[in-house]
Structures are given as C-alpha cells and as structure tokens.
Structure 1
C-alpha cells in the first residue's frame, strides 16, 4: 500500500479529474477542427471533379475527406469516454469526502487520551 495521506489523495484525484477534463475539451476542439477540414476537403473534391481533374486525384481527395471525418468521430468518442473518467474521478473524490474527510478533525476533537498513539495495524483491523 502506498504511503499517501488523505489530503494528498484528494488533491491527486482532483488534479487528475481536472487534467482529464481539460484534455477531453482539447480533444473535442481538435475533433471539430478536423471535421471542418474534412468537410472542406470533400468540397474541394467536388470542385476539382467539376473541373475534370483526373479521377484518381478526385477519388483520393474524397478518400482523404472520409478518413478525416472518421478520425473526427473517433476523437469525439474518445472525449466522451474521458467525460466518463472525469465523472468517476469526481465520484471517487466525493465518496472519500463523505466517508473519510472528517476523521482527522474527529480524532483531534476527541477527549480520549493517547489517541494519536494508536497502532495503524489496530485501525486497519477495526
């Protein structure tokens, strides 16, 4: 088991969820950019086809537009999965806050003597 305090854990979970959320937003932004570029590439393919550019070039341009749209869709799905990860991290943070956060305050407020000298092994068993 790692040696980490409750406050360190809470900080780490909060920082993790913020970072994942920021990354998801950045991914979503790039996905929309790629989607726009894919749409533009599709329009370019139609324009060069109208100018009777050789069919292989037109076909390759259409294929590039299709690949870009697919990449955008996958990036959006990735961002949605990141949103789920953020929700789970926040739920973990909330659960810790609800169940363990006030333990230190309660120990400090206790009138029992020697409470700080209790063995960690005994606390794990109890």
Structure 2
C-alpha cells in the first residue's frame, strides 16, 4: 500500500489548516487581553499618582504598563505571522484539493479492489 493516500493527505492538510487558524485566533485573543491589562495598569498608575503614592511606585507601575504594552505589540505581530501561516496552510490544502481531488474521486469510484497492493508480483511475471 502507498505510504500516503490522497484521502490521508486531504485529511491531514485540512486538519493542519484548521489547527493553525485556531491557534492564530487564540494568539489574537491573548494579545488583546494583554493590551487591555496594559491599559488598566496605566490607569492604575495615574490613579495612584492622584493618591500621592511615592514616585518610585508610580514609576514602576508606569514601567510595567509600558512593558505589558510592548508584550501585547509583540504578541500581535506574532499573531499576524500566525495568520500568514494559516493562509499558507489553507492554500496548501486548496492546492492539494485542486491538484488531486479528481484522482481521489476516481480511485474511490474504482471497481478495482484495495487488495491490488497485496498482489503477488511473481504472478505478473508468469506467462
């Protein structure tokens, strides 16, 4: 039997495309959460400033907000790369379908049994 059939390839490429798309969506959600937390932390820094908390604490809180914003930006960039990967995976699945779907359908409709791969090759050499 062949190492990889059309049906297996189609199933694997579709699963890959879906998995990468789901992962990309999850990364976008995490990036949004981090950005929201960064904004909240910046608001907290302003609030504690109004309460006349020491300047070192306010500066540390602002620095934390700045770092969190940087992490959110990096996560968003990573999510954009994941989107590109998701599109590439979907394109690979679509190309596989366009290139091989007819062969897969013909093989599925074929009346030749699946046992052809277990054929005794010596029988073919006999006259």
TM-score range, shorter chain: 0.7 to 0.9
Partner Cα separation in structure 2 for residue 109 and residue 98 of structure 1: 18
Superposition misfits of 4+ residues, deviation over 2 angstroms: 104-110
Find the counterpart in structure 2 of residue 119 from structure 1: none
Q: TM-score, normalised by structure 2?
A: 0.77
Does 2:3 align with 1:3? yes
Is the partner of 1:102 in helix, strand or coil?
A: helix
Gaps of 5+ in 1: 117-126
Find the counterpart in structure 2 of residue 121 from structure 1: none
Partner Cα separation in structure 1 for residue 71 and residue 34 of structure 2: 8
Partner Cα separation in structure 2 for residue 31 and residue 42 of structure 1: 17
Q: TM-score, normalised by structure 1?
A: 0.78
* Aligned residue-pair number: 112
Is the partner of 2:88 in helix, strand or coil?
A: helix
Residue 34 (structure 1) shift: 1.1
Partner Cα separation in structure 1 for residue 61 and residue 83 of structure 2: 33
